[in-house]
Amino acid sequence: MREPNKIPLILSIETSGVTCGVVLSEGEKLLAEYSLFGNNLHDRLLAELCRRIMIDCEKSFEELSAVAVSTGPGSFTGLRIGISVAKGLCFSGGIKCIAVPTLSAFASAATEYAVSIGVNEIITVVPSNQNNIFMQRFDSQGIAKSDIEVMESQDVQKYLSDSVVLCGTAAGNFQTNAHRLSGLNRLTPRFTARLAVKLYAEGKWVEPEQFVPLYVQEFQLRNTGKNITTPSAL
């Protein structure tokens, strides 16, 4: 691990949705970003992407100050894979582990746009596994104004207006005059990395053995006609 007075070298992992990606950053400087978009890629390719980005940037894992990973809500399987890899890299005790809430990462990425157009509220929306929406409200600096809520689309619609920046993977599903940018509708690892740098500077780390996905609702697993309720990161 790097000495505390050095610029932090952070590996950021994004697996909360269809994106399987990693970023290596040195302070606020992005050194490299590798992303693949598709289902069922995370278990096969995430470890290789981590290895590849370190080799290509001529860095070693021992040089890392921290590993950051998106914590959800999102794909239960994807989150478990990303967090497992992060834990494995941090368990030695020398590398800090940073939990990056998925909806907060979207909001953090939207702050410059919100400020530039004079909008004071950012709303992040991500689909859940029960045809509902995860919604959270933020101010223009990315500070949360509400907890994560699970809502039906028509209830989310009531919060949308031209005084709001709407972002997140469900943002394109709404007919609204809220401000949107297509680049803020897909979560990439650079969003995770952006917020990770801030959390690292604030000393907001987690113990690897206590690190779990962000659970928001119960997941109804349907199997052979029977409903089985189990915790979900969705």
Tens-binned pLDDT, residue by residue, of the chain (234 aa): 555 558 999 999 999 988 999 999 999 999 999 999 887 788 889 999 999 999 999 999 999 999 999 999 988 899 999 999 999 999 877 899 999 999 999 999 999 999 999 999 999 999 987 789 999 999 999 999 999 999 999 999 999 999 999 999 999 999 999 999 999 998 899 999 999 999 999 999 999 988 888 877 654 444 434 443 333 443
Q: What's the Rg (C-alpha) of the chain?
A: 18
For the chain, domains (ranges, CATH) are 9-101+187-232 (3.30.420.40), 103-184 (3.30.420.40)
Return the H-helix or E-strand segment holding 60: none
Contact present, 89 and 33 (Cβ < 8 Å): no
> pTM higher than 0.75 for the full model?
yes
